[in-house]
Amino acid sequence: MDKRLDRDLEIREETQPRKREWAPPSLLPEFKKQPGWAYRWIRISLANEADNLNVSSKMREGWEPVKHSEHPEIQLPASADSRFKDSVEVGGLLLCKMPQEMVDQRNDYYRKKAEGQARAVDNSFMKENDPRMPLFSDKKSTKSFGKG
């Protein structure tokens, strides 16, 4: 007679935990995003030099720094020499937020601006078009067989 193990004692492939694959860690911390807000990392310094022009332009656009107290799940040591006290700062980047409605309006503004520029280029290019030598012509090849 065969000596068999009880089915309960057998180990199946499905019940064994899958091996985790290594992946490089994210350079920026993960955090819970609040509904109605858009988040963005703003450059505040580059090569240990403050980038005041970039910071001030982003703040005028409507981005505001995110406070550590708003996202306690982000575990970062506070920098003593930071210009933005109690804010989330990582390697020269500052986490900022803006209401999603304002981000949508901003994106719509730039989309319309880009479409207008594309139309202007097309119009400028097409005014140079001459029917005798068109800039765009349908390229059609034909095949004919000679008789005789």
Contact 94, 65 (CB under 8 A): yes
Percent of the chain at pLDDT > 90 equals: 35
Does the structure show a pLDDT above 60 at 69? yes
Whole-prediction pTM value?
Answer: 0.63
Confidence category of residue 114, pLDDT binned at 50, 70, 90: very high
CA dihedral 71, 75, 76, 77 (to 10 degrees): 110
Contact 86, 68 (CB under 8 A): yes
Which region holds residue 114: left if phi is over 0, alpha if psi is between -120 and 50, else beta? alpha
Confidence category of residue 27, pLDDT binned at 50, 70, 90: confident
Better-scored residue on pLDDT, 99 or 46: 99
11-21 pLDDT per residue, tens: 665 666 778 88
State the Cα–Cα distance between residues 45 and 55, nearest whole angstrom.
9
State the Cα–Cα distance between residues 59 and 139, nearest whole angstrom.
52
Does the structure show a pLDDT above 90 at 24? no
pLDDT number for residue 148: 59
- Across the chain, mean pLDDT equals 83
State the Cα–Cα distance between residues 67 and 31, nearest whole angstrom.
12
31-62 pLDDT per residue, tens: 889 999 999 999 998 888 989 999 999 999 99
Residue 14, number of CB atoms within 10 A of its CB: 6
Contact 96, 71 (CB under 8 A): no
Report, as an integer, the average pLDDT of 119-131.
Answer: 78
pLDDT number for residue 66: 92
pLDDT number for residue 115: 94
